[in-house]
C-alpha cells in the first residue's frame, strides 16, 4: 500500500504509465516502453493470458512507483470476442490498481486519441505510428506501442505534468 506522504505529493511524469490493452499490450512510461505479448499458446500451458498480464503489470507498477495509469478505452466493434477479451483485461487493470492503492485509471476513447494525435479521429495504425515519430521523435516497435506513447503524452498535456 502507498503511504500518505506519496499520496499527497505532486504527481510527476515519471509516475505515469500509459497502456493500449490487448493481447499485444502497448505500454509507455519514461522508464521503458514497448509491447507485451500475451498470446495464448499450448507451449504456455493454454489459458495463461490473464495471469501473465496481471503479473507483468504489477511488476512494472511496483518497480517504478507508478501512481497513475491512463489506458485506451474498450472500443465496441463487430468482434464480440475482442470486446470480451479487452473487458477482461480492463477488469484486471482495475483490480491491480485497487490492490496497489492507485486511483482508477483514466480511460481515453480511441477516436479522441486518434483525433488528438493525427487530426483524424479515424486514423490508421500506420498514421498513428508516423505521428509518434513526427511529434515526439520516438520510433515505436509497433502500433500498440505508438498508441501507448500517444496516450502518455495526451495525459501529461491534459493534466499539465
pLDDT tens digits for range 116-137: 999 999 999 999 999 999 999 9
Distances (CA, A) of 91 to 43, 85, 86, 96, 155: 26, 10, 9, 9, 21
Extract the C-alpha cell encoding 80: 464480440
Confidence band of 39 (pLDDT split at 50, 70, 90)? confident
Extended beta strands in the chain, E state: 16-20, 24-28, 33-37, 68-72, 106-108
pLDDT tens digits for range 70-80: 999 876 666 66
pLDDT at 149: 98
CA dihedral 82, 22, 136, 120 (to 10 degrees): 10
pLDDT tens digits for range 42-51: 665 566 889 9
What mean pLDDT is predicted for residues 36-62? 85
State the first-to-last Cα distance of the chain, in angstroms, to the nearest integer: 24
- C-beta separation of 155 from 16 below 8 A: yes
Amino acid at each position: 500500500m502507498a503511504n500518505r506522504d506519496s499520496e499527497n505529493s505532486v504527481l510527476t511524469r515519471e509516475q505515469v504509465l500509459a497502456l493500449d490493452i490487448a493481447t499485444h499490450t502497448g505500454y509507455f512510461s519514461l522508464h521503458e516502453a514497448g509491447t507485451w505479448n500475451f498470446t495464448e499458446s499450448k507451449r504456455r500451458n493454454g489459458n495463461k493470458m490473464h495471469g501473465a498480464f496481471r503479473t507483468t503489470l504489477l511488476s512494472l507498477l511496483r518497480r517504478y512507483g507508478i501512481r497513475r495509469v491512463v489506458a485506451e478505452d474498450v472500443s465496441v466493434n463487430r468482434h464480440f470476442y475482442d470486446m470480451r477479451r479487452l473487458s477482461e483485461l480492463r477488469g484486471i487493470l482495475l483490480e491491480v490498481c485497487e490492490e496497489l492503492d492507485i486511483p482508477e485509471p483514466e480511460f481515453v476513447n480511441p477516436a479522441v486519441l486518434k483525433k488528438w494525435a493525427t487530426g483524424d479521429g479515424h486514423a490508421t495504425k500506420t498514421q498513428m505510428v508516423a505521428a509518434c515519430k513526427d511529434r515526439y521523435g520516438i520510433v515505436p516497435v509497433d502500433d500498440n506501442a505508438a498508441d501507448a506513447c500517444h496516450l502518455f503524452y495526451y495525459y501529461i498535456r491534459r493534466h499539465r505534468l
